[in-house]
Amino acid sequence: MSRRLSIHLDRQDAVHRPGELITGRVELVCPESRRCDELVASLDWEVESRGEPFSSRGAPVLLAAGLALSPGAPTLVPFEIPAPSGPLTYHGHILTVSWTLRVEAKLGWASRERVEARILLLPWTEEARALTATGYRKAPSKYALVYDPGPLPEATLEKRDESRTVEHPLVGVSLAAASVALLVLRAGAFTRILALLLLVGGLSALFAHLRRRTLRERLGPPELAVLPEIVRAGEVLTVSVSFEPGRPEVLKDLVISVSAQEVVLRPSSEPDEPRHYRHSLHGERRLVDRGRLRLPPGRVTVIQEMFRIPLRGPPSFGAPNNEVRWEVTATARTADLVSWKQTQRILVHPPSP
């Protein structure tokens, strides 16, 4: 810590809730007579993980300007900074999210002093809500409803069961035709090997497309729906899987699961290390009763399951290459082992106080 600059928080435990005021004093002690041009504070958060670290600097807050510092005499500058709405402080297994209050004093064009203090940003609780109430039925409820999970990945929250480009029938037919043409031309050994590889790839793409098309024609296609997509810890989640088969079908099994995990991506500049790290935080898996797996033809059949997000479940969090991810997955399998799987991400917010 700097000998000229120090931070004194009013709360010694440094615990704050979203929307509260972070209060305290900045103390400046200068051995000689100087002028402090600017005293600036900022709230920053950073991610430390096995992959790529990430940091986000908050907006600067001007605490004072043009302060005259007497030699050896402490100068106290009080401050009030609203606590952000997220992401919350998180200490996980492979990633950590932490908050830091940083203060910088500009003592001329070539002299700067910096100091920092750790801040714990925790969710609201009933006890904290009661302690901050200023009157009957008055508490910062509007802040408890706000949560910022951070810059989540740009990928869509829903991952549908759609065929990929290499599984298009034209791709399969084209590869198979190219392989036959190479074989007919009586090319060399290397070309024949290439032709066989193209033939195998083409037939695989064609069969994959036919399998998916058959599944869609037989089951509807299936659709996964999750309500609500944004849920608080401790609340109930409704998962629905709908089928509309063209003929009577009996599923061999249908599994619905809710999971949470830490996901960390290591940069590609380190090829010798694993690119992905994952750590499971929560997993609940349900096998739907066989009596509900009979699907009559020509009408929509909806199978529902209800899950409760654990009250102590970690809230969703996102940053480049670092994420706390919640997902709902449904997997169906027919009697002849044709399978279907669909995954949808959900956002979990901290529990209501």
Length in residues, the chain: 353
Amino acid symbol at 76: L
CA distance 239 to 126: 29
- Peptide bond connecting 82 to the previous residue in cis, omega within 30 degrees of 0: no
The whole-number pLDDT of residue 25 equals 96
> What pTM was computed for the model?
0.78
The whole-number pLDDT of residue 109 equals 75
Split at pLDDT 50, 70, 90, the class of 191 is low
Other Cβ atoms less than 10 A from the Cβ of 277: the count is 18
CATH number of 221-353: 2.60.40.640
Instruction: Say if residues 304 and 283 touch (Cβ distance below 8 Å).
Output: no
Top CATH class, 5-144: mainly beta
Show Cβ contacts of residue 94 under 8 Å, excluding neighbours closer than 6 positions: 49, 50, 262, 264, 277, 279
CA distance 265 to 318: 12
Phi/psi of residue 124, nearest 5 degrees: -70, 145
Split at pLDDT 50, 70, 90, the class of 193 is low
Amino acid symbol at 204: S
Higher pLDDT residue, 289 or 140? 289
Q: What is the pLDDT of residues 214-252, one digit of tens each?
A: 666 677 778 999 999 999 999 999 999 999 888 888 899
Equal fold, 5-144 vs 221-353: yes
Confidence check: pLDDT of 159 > 50: no
Split at pLDDT 50, 70, 90, the class of 156 is very low
CA distance 343 to 223: 10
- Give the three-state DSSP class for 276: strand
294 forms beta bridges with 250
Phi/psi of residue 144, nearest 5 degrees: -70, -20
The whole-number pLDDT of residue 166 equals 39
CB contact burial 19-41 (16+ within 10 A = b; e otherwise): bbebebebebbbeeebebbbbbb
Instruction: Say if residues 101 and 7 touch (Cβ distance below 8 Å).
Output: yes
- Give the chain's mean pLDDT: 82
Confidence check: pLDDT of 195 > 90: no
CA distance 265 to 275: 6
- In terms of DSSP bridges, do strands 54-56 and 61-69 run parallel, antiparallel, or are they unpaired? unpaired
Q: What is the pLDDT of residues 78-125, one digit of tens each?
A: 999 999 999 999 999 999 999 999 999 998 777 888 999 999 999 987
Confidence check: pLDDT of 267 > 60: yes
Q: Give residue limits of the domains in the chain.
A: 5-144, 162-218, 221-353
The whole-number pLDDT of residue 269 equals 60
Instruction: Say if residues 270 and 334 touch (Cβ distance below 8 Å).
Output: no
Instruction: Say if residues 52 and 320 touch (Cβ distance below 8 Å).
Output: yes
Instruction: Say if residues 319 and 298 touch (Cβ distance below 8 Å).
Output: no
Least confident of 21-25, 312-316, 333-337: 333-337
Show Cβ contacts of residue 287 under 8 Å, excluding neighbours closer than 6 positions: 253, 254, 255
CA–CA distances in Å: residue 25 to residues 4, 6, 15, 118, 203: 14, 9, 16, 15, 72
Give Dmax (Cα) for the chain: 95
Confidence check: pLDDT of 143 > 90: no
Q: What is the pLDDT of residues 48-81, one digit of tens each?
A: 998 888 999 999 999 999 988 888 889 999 999 9
